[in-house]
Amino acid sequence: MVLSLDRLTKTYANKKAVDNLSIEMRPGVYGLVGGNGAGKTTLMRMISAILEPTSGEVLLDGKNVADMGADYRDMLGYLPQDFGYYPHYTAKDYLHYIAVLKGIPRREAVSKSKHLLDEVGLSDVANKKIRTFSGGMKQRLGIAQAILNDPQILILDEPTAGLDPKERVRFRNLISSFASNRIVLLSTHIVTDVEAIADRVLVMKNGRIVSQGSIRDLLEEVEGHVWEIAVEPSETDKWEAETTVANLRREDNRTILRIISEDPPSDSAVSVPATLEDLYLYHFPTERS
């Protein structure tokens, strides 16, 4: 199974949200990282066949997904960033509704919903109205609806937003166990999630993929550009204003700054091993993960 994006472009009023993007995805977990406005959501909506590209195609094994219609959507699971729900519905009723939309037979839908509610830790509140749920619980319900039909292609837009650390671990485990022989594309700002479960990472900026590869490949890209220096606490603001500071911590009376920079920021700077968070800041220096 190969999901190909062929010169995919989406333009809104002269602004290219996705710009001539081409990529091939095979089974595995893909982490899509990028700053706000990078075009991640637009890209995911086009892959989900909801949004019409201005030009270019999304192809599954060479067939245009727009032409495949219901056959493609039958293979698809999608969690939108703005996950919608009916507040007066119970979690069980909601999953039953989505199951019918996904063409799942009634009996299968009942057992599947029960199993998934258990998997995402919502079985105790299956009969409670969604309006009473916390943000994290709603997000878990969103994840459950996305995988209800055992999709071959799973698109998750910011799936870990609103999840506490424990819930994120549960989510990672769920996706890892689910992902074999499927294409999973997840976008997130939380790069540690990508680090934990993604086989490949796509870095998106201004509607284009600016970097892609395995985590190891990408870290090599930023290797030699991550530095630590010890400065006086009073100098911290100056360094933050002038460089991309990934982290700072106090050690004795000094402040240790972790700086992303092509060149050593000072003579005393020490090169340190890079993380995916550093990679993110390397590409998006104005954003902090």
Partner 1 sequence: MDLFCVEHKKLWSRGSVKISVLLCIIYIVVFGGILQYQWLTLGSSKDITGSHFDGYEYIRERQEYAKRYEPLLTVDTLSEMVSDYQRAGKNGDDKELKKTDWSVISSWLQTLYPELQRPVIYQLMVGYVDASALTDMYARRQTAIETYMDASGIKGREKDYLLSMNAKVDTPFSYTWTEGWRTVLASLIPDYGMIIAIVIIVSLAPLFSGEWRDGTGTMILSTKDGWRKDAVAKMGVGLAFTTEVFTLVAVPSIIVQMVFLGLSGWDTPIQCIKMLAIAPMNMAQAEIYEYLFLFIGITGFASVVMLISSFFKSDRLAMMGGFAILIAPMFIAGHLPYRAQLTLDLFPLVGNAGDIFRMYTLNVFGKIVWLPYLEIVTPLLFVMICIPISVMRWSRMQKA
**Number of amino acids touching partner 1 (CB under 8 A):** 34
Instruction: Give whichever of 46 and 196 is closer to partner 1, judged by the CB atom.
Output: 46
- 216: amino acid identity, one letter: R
Instruction: Give whichever of 106 and 216 is closer to partner 1, judged by the CB atom.
Output: 106
Element at 101 (helix H, strand E):
helix 91-101
135 near partner 1 (CB under 8 A): no
Distance separating alpha carbons of residues 192 and 21, to the nearest angstrom: 25
287 near partner 1 (CB under 8 A): no
Among 27, 80, 121, 162, contact with partner 1 (rule: CB under 8 A)? 80
User: How near is the Cβ of 159 to partner 1 at its closest, in Å?
Assistant: 13
Among 76, 179, 246, 274, contact with partner 1 (rule: CB under 8 A)? 76
Q: Scan residues 28-67 and list those touching partner 1 (CB under 8 A).
A: 45, 48-52, 66
Instruction: Give whichever of 63 and 288 is closer to partner 1, judged by the CB atom.
Output: 63
Q: Tell me the longest C-alpha to C-alpha distance in the chain.
A: 69
On whether the CB atoms of residues 10 and 42 are closer than 8 A, the answer is yes
Q: What is the DSSP letter of 131?
A: G
Secondary structure of residue 113 in the 3-state scheme: helix
Q: Scan residues 88-107 and list those touching partner 1 (CB under 8 A).
A: 88-89, 93, 96-98, 100-103, 106
Contact residues for 283 (Cβ-Cβ < 8 A; gap 6+): 203, 205, 210, 211
For the beta carbon of residue 210, count every other beta carbon within 10 angstroms: 13
Q: How many residues does the chain have?
A: 289
Q: Which residues bind partner 1 (CB under 8 A)?
A: 12, 45, 48-52, 66, 69-70, 73-74, 76, 78, 80, 82-86, 88-89, 93, 96-98, 100-103, 106, 145, 149, 155
